[in-house]
Amino acid sequence: RSPQVACKAASAVLVKTLRFVQNVPCFQELPLEEQLLLVRSCWAPLLLLGLAQDRVHLETVESAEPSMLQRILTARQHGERAPAPAPGRPHHGPHLPSAGEIQAIKGFLAKCWSLDISTKEYAYLKGTVLFNPDLPGLQCTQYIEGLQREAQQALNEHVRLIHRGDEARFAKLNVVLSLLRSINANVVAELFFRPIIGAVNMDDMLLEMLCAKL
């Protein structure tokens, strides 16, 4: 509904998220190449956790703009030539998020809010997402695997201490992580950054932000 508002909020959350990452001491100890590999792979799930934590609402509205197919069919009915893509633009154009992909993001946010996740729980979830030992190209795999395990153990202990009556809470929080895995990073980039930055290369942007002292 308001791309500028949503994009501005997402940009602020991305800065805050990378600041959080940079302030994790064990992350700082990793070589820069490893840091960048981890951040490139998980910036989108970390951003979505940040949006949920900051309660950024994503209001969407059905677009009335006709699709390329509709325009071609309409042109044919009137005996006109089908509209050609603009010069220099690929025929398929940018990958515009589908209603289903947007719904998956909204569903994820709603799930987080229904669980009323605390600041500490968000921090441990982010740690679990950040320290992914399964990425190809990592050198410090065992160290990173240990950090992920520590984040999960800390989350489990915190839940047992604070939510004693809710034995299923730890499992529910892990469902949140599985929902995150089904959301495509390209969809997040298209939705939150293309409207204000254009055809953004997230890798370049993340490298710049990671090397800058946020």
pLDDT tens for 90-137 read 333 456 778 888 899 999 999 999 999 999 999 999 999 999 999 999
Q: CA torsion sign, 117 to 164 to 129 to 207?
A: positive
* Euclidean distance between CA atoms 107 and 26, whole angstroms: 32
Ordered alpha helix ranges (H), the chain: 3-22, 25-28, 32-53, 68-77, 99-115, 119-130, 141-162, 169-181, 185-192, 194-197, 202-211
CATH number listed for the domain at residues 3-59+95-212: 1.10.565.10
Chain centroid to Cα 73, Å, comes to 36
Alpha carbon distance 55, 173 (integer Å): 17
Residue 58's pLDDT is what?
75
Q: What is the pLDDT of residue 199?
A: 64
Give the number of other Cβ atoms within 10 Å of residue 124's Cβ. 22
Q: What is the pLDDT of residue 201?
A: 74
pLDDT at position 17: 93
Q: CA of 68: how far to CAs of 63, 71, 198, 206, in Å?
A: 13, 5, 20, 33
Encoded tokens for 77: 């009915």
**Contact by Cβ (8 Å): 108, 48:** yes
Domain ranges of the chain: 3-59+95-212
Enumerate residue ranges in the chain where pLDDT < 50.
64-68, 70-71, 81-93, 214
Quick check: 132 and 144 in contact, CB under 8 A?
yes
Encoding tokens for residue 61? 């509205």
Give the CA distances from residue 51 to residues 31, 54, 55, 56, in Å, rounded to whole numbers and listed in that order: 28, 5, 6, 5
pLDDT attached to residue 85: 41
CA-CA distance, 151 to 157, in Å (whole number)?
A: 10
